[in-house]
Homo-oligomer: A and B are copies of this chain.
């Protein structure tokens, strides 16, 4: 369904044609002294000057827009995760201060002057690079999403965490600046037997993952900047690995070493962790790609519907296999679907913003979104995934979520069927 201007006007007309703003919100808590035609209290005040905040911060009125963690989810905050407040965000850029964090030994604090990246193993020349060395190679600037393999992991056993932030917030999207590993490796050369890379972090956990060389040479990057500025400490300052479209755990932060070998290294993080335990006790391994997924960010459990009439539904879609081709939205639990508008730029392995206007007259809704990528892959229901994988999984839940909108406008995360 294309957006209908007539519908919008009809709906707004129903609210009265003039000055509807002060009437539509039952919970309106505004101070009448500040409303037109009065001069608001902030106008006579000479505000802060240009020398007060050399590096700016959000408004104090936005103090609820923060990363949040779930203390009971993990044993320590240093080996834990927090979540991006997707429900509060617009567009496709995640502000650096709100990019979710997942650490296994806390945030390493690295003096960039002392930073080095070592390349060793099955290469022709073992080499060591400083940050300044890395910057001598041709640079690329790319928007990519990063999603933790465990995003939505609690949901395998039902609708358990009642929030958009907690069920979908282990994903962020920034523009990275760095160098292609395929360029860097031309300097070291590769021996014919080199088939796998061990990527190693320099944090306390000594995070290590094996990556097949085809992926490394295809589109992997070593980056030093996100959204224009230096990587944030919690995102691997001064340099991290970028593995576009693949699970976030492989994007080694504070990266210190790439070792080339002829087989996977079978590290803890790809054997006991980041594998999908099936019902027969066997595990799916090396399930790296983050498949097509989407989420309606508003309405959502944190963003109830405030008024009847025209709503602007909005959400995010992404695919580790390439570009998002289409997003459909259902308001009735999957019986009927409408195609949402995708907002440019639509880039490969990047978040895409979608919107869909709809009319709400106070009825119950079951909101779902379903992404399709350029390979034709369609985001599944969790029942489809569970037929194959059972319910032991923690990882790779890219299923369709359902938001139940009550007659009051309240929104809850529910499981259908």
Which residues does A use to contact B, with CB under 8 Å? 3, 5, 8-9, 12, 17-22, 24-25, 28-31, 34-36, 40, 42-59, 61-62, 65-69, 71, 76-78, 80-82, 88-99, 101-103, 105-114, 116, 118, 125-130, 132-133, 135-141, 143, 174-177, 186-187, 202-204, 206, 224-225, 227-234, 237-238, 254, 256-257, 306-307, 309-312, 314, 343-345, 347, 353, 355, 357
How far, in Å, is A293 (CB) from chain B's closest CB? 18
A21 to B82, CA, bound (A): 36
A128 to B129, CA, bound (A): 59
Q: Given A20-B133, A50-B77, A133-B20, does the pair A91, B225 have CB atoms closer than 8 Å?
A: yes
| Residue with the highest number of chain B CB atoms closer than 10 Å, among A69, A101, A186, A233 | A233
Contact of A312 among B98, B103, B138, B257 (CB under 8 A): B138
Contact of A202 among B28, B43, B203 (CB under 8 A): B43
Q: Name the residue of chain B whose CB is nearest to the CB of A130.
A: B21
Contact of A30 among B113, B206, B238 (CB under 8 A): B113
Write 13 A-B pairs (CB below 8 A) sorted by A numbering.
A5-B186, A9-B186, A28-B113, A29-B113, A34-B111, A42-B254, A43-B206, A45-B108, A53-B97, A56-B67, A62-B229, A91-B175, A138-B312
Contact A343 B141 (CB under 8 A): yes
Q: Name the residue of chain B whose CB is nearest to the CB of A179.
A: B312
A76 to B51, CA, bound (A): 10
In the complex, chain B residues whose CB is within 8 Å of the CB of A137: 8, 312
Q: Given A53-B234, A96-B56, A204-B43, does the pair A20, B78 have CB atoms closer than 8 Å?
A: no
In the complex, chain B residues whose CB is within 8 Å of the CB of A90: 139, 141, 177, 224-225, 228-229
Q: Name the residue of chain B whose CB is nearest to the CB of A136.
A: B310
In the complex, chain B residues whose CB is within 8 Å of the CB of A347: 344-345
Q: Name the residue of chain B whose CB is nearest to the CB of A41.
A: B114
A96 to B29, CA, bound (A): 29
Contact of A97 among B55, B310, B311 (CB under 8 A): B55
Contact A93 B228 (CB under 8 A): yes
Contact A54 B66 (CB under 8 A): yes
How far, in Å, is A150 (CB) from chain B's closest CB? 14
How far, in Å, is A189 (CB) from chain B's closest CB? 9
Contact of A105 among B47, B65, B69 (CB under 8 A): B47
Q: Name the residue of chain B whose CB is nearest to the CB of A254.
A: B42
Nearest 6 pairs between A and B by C-beta? Answer: A49-B77, A47-B106, A90-B177, A54-B66, A34-B114, A47-B107
A89 to B228, CA, bound (A): 5
How far, in Å, is A277 (CB) from chain B's closest CB? 25
A343 to B139, CA, bound (A): 10
Contact B3 A230 (CB under 8 A): no
Contact A92 B141 (CB under 8 A): yes
Contact A49 B29 (CB under 8 A): no
Contact B136 A312 (CB under 8 A): yes
Contact B82 A50 (CB under 8 A): yes
A12 to B136, CA, bound (A): 9
Contact A233 B59 (CB under 8 A): yes
A141 to B31, CA, bound (A): 31
Contact A50 B22 (CB under 8 A): no
